[in-house]
Amino acid sequence: MNQTERFYRIDQLINQRGLVPFDELMRELEVSRATLKRDLAYLRDRLNAPIVWDRERGGYCFAGGAATGPQYELPGLWFNDREILALLTMHRLLEELDTGGMLGPQIAPLIARLKALLGTAEGDPDEIIRRVRLIPAQNRPVPPVRFEVVGSALVKRQRVEIAYHTRSRNARSVREVSPQRLVHYRNAWYLDAWCHRSESLRVFALDAVEDARLVDRRARDLSLKTVEAELGSGYGIYRGTKLRWAVLRFSADAARWVRAEVWHPRQEGLALPDGRYELRIPYSQSPELEMDILRHGEQVEVVSPDSLRKRIAERLATAAAAYR
């Protein structure tokens, strides 16, 4: 019987019998006196179990006659020391991503419990948190209240009225949407939602939502399979369904990095005899792909399609003109 099983058995015995002598617990659990003492101390000190020794009756019982201590509950999931350290490490990564403060207050009690469970085991949880660092770049924070409204709508399957700023046109609008899912992509949050104004699925950047409120109307439900099919599988967050293929050719110097990168799940790469690297990528709308191509500057050439090649040439010429 492992420690987890013993905890459940101790809880069960005291609940069923009301009072259990120390020697009887030892026999039931088939453990030594020292092990039983450690188990009882763990239940009391770390899991808040209201287990007390009744000196007059000579046994252990729950204070007040029932397991009603502060937040006492044997959890349904148990973790060993390494798993707890892994969870704390994941928390550290999430903490860096959570620039809007959406998760912090909600998971703080869980982190405290994980640290308590880890106790004096190998590995200091605070040291782990100090030694893991994620540096977000160009992230676009979202006020927690926006997450609360959208998250509530997703769970309750309600509609949301949003005041939205379309930056590409510098236009503002108010529209009613049925949220389908939240997506975190490149340090920004997006909402896939059915727009009742345009009667279509749209992708909204949450940081461009200037106001949001729940609407007391049932959201339009779409399966995630439908969402994927409608939004398509092109390049980037604005995916689309009408796909074209871009063929990019990288210099031998850039190839050492690019061949290790995943630009798209369906990309196709080819190492050329002279050390260069050719990358084929499906895309629907080009703005995001253009930005990724431009960051490689002179190290990449757009082979096809001609429309994308011309567009990149124009943008490079405009950039060069700014330095004359």
CA separation for the pair 45, 76 (Å, rounded): 19
Q: Whose structure tokens read 């190839």? A: 255
CA separation for the pair 215, 212 (Å, rounded): 9
Tokens of 314: 């124009």
Phi and psi dihedrals of 113, rounded to 5?
Answer: -65, -40
Whole-model pTM over 0.85: no
Which CATH number is associated with domain 144-232?
2.30.30
* 274 half-sphere exposure, CB direction, 13 A CA radius: 5
173-198: burial string, b at 16+ Cβ within 10 Å, e else: eebbbbbbeeeeeeebbbbbbbbbee
CA separation for the pair 29, 5 (Å, rounded): 9
Domain chopping of the chain, boundaries: 3-62, 81-131, 144-232, 244-322
Task: Give the N- to C-terminal CA distance of the chain in Å, as an integer.
Answer: 78
Closest by Cα among 277, 161, 272 to 215: 161
Instruction: Note down pLDDT in tens along the chain; length 324 residues.
Output: 788 788 888 988 988 888 999 999 999 999 999 999 999 998 888 888 889 999 899 999 988 765 544 445 655 555 555 666 666 666 666 665 655 555 556 566 666 666 665 554 455 666 666 666 666 677 788 888 888 899 889 989 999 999 999 998 999 999 999 999 988 888 788 999 999 999 999 999 999 999 999 999 999 999 988 888 888 766 576 677 788 999 999 999 999 999 999 999 899 999 999 999 999 999 988 889 999 999 999 999 999 999 999 999 999 999 999 998
Assess contact for 191 and 206: CB atoms under 8 A. yes
- Residues written for the chain: 324
Assess contact for 45 and 86: CB atoms under 8 A. no
Which CATH number is associated with domain 3-62?
1.10.10
Assess contact for 259 and 215: CB atoms under 8 A. no
Assess contact for 303 and 316: CB atoms under 8 A. no
Tokens of 22: 């120390």
Assess contact for 306 and 257: CB atoms under 8 A. no
CA separation for the pair 263, 266 (Å, rounded): 9
